[in-house]
Structure 1
């Protein structure tokens, strides 16, 4: 299924985005650099005075395939070997800053593609980042069209009208489901984004989509 790309713009220009400034920022950046071998940019949405909504960008000198290989080898991300947890890092920042902190958007800029993860419920990115990276590796053969074309942008997750509900929730049954349902994939060979059905490891058929929405 092809979708107009405007539907999935993350629209940072509509937010009051500024460079992040909070206690422990430097240590937080250093930890991210250590585990992701990337240059780190952290901004915040200043529209909410009672909460810090972070926009985190990693710039990594790897291709998508190299990243997946390094992640599977335990050399990148190192969630299991070092017990690194983005959620724990955020919780520590909340304690020392005495304010609620969440990640609004987490993007990984690679040599051949950009992965963009949007928040779908409170603390969703911190809790599900490891799962998302795992899914990225499992589905590589499918969303690259049997290794024939690497997308230049991947949006995780996408709520398709009448297929999913875009409410923020902490229900465990929807945590994984939310990031494992539909991704918006951008290819140089396609004019618009196409929707990848993660559950069925295939691109969503436009006729099926229209049938569901009747």
Structure 2
């Protein structure tokens, strides 16, 4: 059992002084490390009013993104299942549901980042359990678009943000929470261009990169 007052090098909590127990959190971390073949660090923020814990998960991997995609396609990296609706369900969702079943506190992932040797993929929550539900499909789609956002395998972005939205995109807050396809519209990419940071927007539908300052005028 982990607790919000227990010291753990892999855990960080922002909580009230009142004691709250978290059953199965160590097992959740260990399962992540086994599934992703990486080292996990977890920051948690506990909201006493809603009795909810938002988790920010950092997974550090000793290999490159392309290695990950090759093993993922071979079925030997990140346990996945393909149900009848042909969507990809990552084992992460099962682990999160099991964690919630053991506790009277509601856990969810607000952000998950995969730190590869040459790039970092940062996934943000869109709706309840969206990261856990969509992580397998996100990894699969990264593989499908790899040749496009690497500019024909010539340049790797050092950060990939999944997703990003247009500043003037007419999506209200409540609609955004229900927008399950929002992960596969636009991603934000950062490239190291002549020792300067170059921000680009990648359209998955058009398979095209846009400069951030020109994107809204396209």
Matched residue, 2:208: 202
My pick for the range that moved more, 162-171 or 50-59, is 162-171
Looking at both structures, which has the greater relative contact order when contacts are Cα pairs under 8 Å and sequence separation is at least 6?
A: 1
**SS of the residue aligned with 1:46?**
strand
Alignment partners' CA distance in 2, 1:84 and 1:208: 32
As a proportion of its length, which structure holds more helix?
1
User: What corresponds to 1:40 in structure 2?
Assistant: 40
> Hey, what does 1:188 align to over in structure 2?
192
**Normalization by structure 2: what TM-score?**
0.79
How many Å apart are 1:208 and its aligned residue?
Answer: 5.8
TM-score by length of 1: 0.81
How many residues are paired up? 191
Tell me, what secondary structure is at the counterpart of 1:187?
Answer: strand
Cα deviation, 1:78-133, whole Å, max 9, x if unaligned, reads: 2139x852222112111211121110000000000000001111111011101100
**What is the CA RMSD across the aligned residues, in angstroms?**
2.3
* Greater strand proportion: 2
| Cα separation, 2, equivalents of 1:62 and 1:164 | 39
Separation of aligned partners in 2, 1:164 and 1:124: 21
Aligned-partner Cα distance in 1 for 2:79–2:119: 21
Alignment of structure 1 residues 50-199 onto 2, 5 Å: 50-80=51-81, 85-163=91-169, 165=171, 167=173, 169=176, 171=178, 174-175=179-180, 177-189=181-193, 191-199=197-205
Could you tell me which runs of 5 or more consecutive residues in structure 2 were left unpaired when the two chains were aligned: 1-11, 16-20, 83-88
